[in-house]
Homo-oligomer: A and B are copies of this chain.
Amino acid sequence: MTDEQAAPAGPEAVTAAILVIGDEILSGRTKDKNIGYIAEYLTAIGIDVKEVRVVGDEMDRIVEAVNALRTRYDYVFTTGGIGPTHDDITADAIAAAFGVGIGPHPEIVALMRRHYAETGLELNEARLRMARVPDGADIIENKISKAPGFRIGNVHVMAGVPTIMQAMLDAAAETLVTGRKMLSRSVEAHMGEGDVAKPLGELQDRYPDIGIGSYPYFDGKRFTTQIVLRGRDESRLDEATRAAETMLEELRISKADGGRP
């Protein structure tokens, strides 16, 4: 275990993991809206999400997950557990994971004093807990409700409330090293996944540098299939997409002729 920030693995592929923290997600009471948002956001700016974990508000589990993920991926993004109540233990868990102390950050204290003076709300002991960050952490700005997130090493600690998390992710993104963007194309198969499986596997063999996935879904009448192609080289991706379209056209003709040749 090291406290050094992992160097992004070159501009081709920068990797990340998401860690969602909160009993309410595990009980199903709250349906997570952050995983999909962060995954789509990071993909769009050229960072590949490789793993997601959800753990409860338990110190040991958070520490274990943070350390497993921060040593394996270029970046980690956590959501949840940074509020003012007794079950908000994320900041303490992150400090424990990095083996550092924790205390009030003077800049956050000043910012919260100003904010609460303006709004007339009481800046009590509980709210001041939100100014505590692990030693050495930088602030991730919160334009919505002021109490910020923080970044330590390659770990970005954000709120669980989606609107606040999204504002923090915007702020955090400014400092991220991003890779070459993963591009995607999708093609509608108009047939079942089983009908397209064999030629699709052959197409994947012809284009090993392009990730080809197939996603069955119910269109209201029957199961059909969306084919998604992903790659970083646009001309190569377009070539594979045209090959997929040709393959599907041939398949439709052969099926209309009364079966596969």
Total interface residues in chain A, CB < 8 Å: 72
Alpha-carbon gap, A27 to B40, bound state (A): 6
Instruction: Identify which of B127, B184, B192 contacts A27 (C-beta below 8 A).
Output: B184
Q: Is A24 an interface residue (CB 8 A)?
A: yes
Contacts A86-B197, A161-B218, A200-B85 given; does A53 touch B52 at CB 8 Å: yes
Q: Known A85-B214, A86-B197, A163-B218; judge A40-B52 contact (CB<8 A).
A: no
Write the chain B residue with the least CB distance to A56.
B50
Minimum Cβ distance to chain B for residue A63 (Å): 14
Taken together, the copies of this chain in the complex come to 2
CB of A61, distance to nearest CB on chain B (Å): 7
A interface vs B, CB < 8 Å? 20, 23-32, 35-43, 48-57, 61, 83-87, 121-122, 124-127, 129-130, 145, 161, 163, 182, 184, 192-198, 200-201, 204, 211-218, 223, 228, 230, 259-260
10 contacts between A and B (CB under 8 A): A23-B211, A26-B39, A26-B49, A28-B49, A29-B43, A30-B215, A53-B54, A86-B201, A124-B194, A161-B216
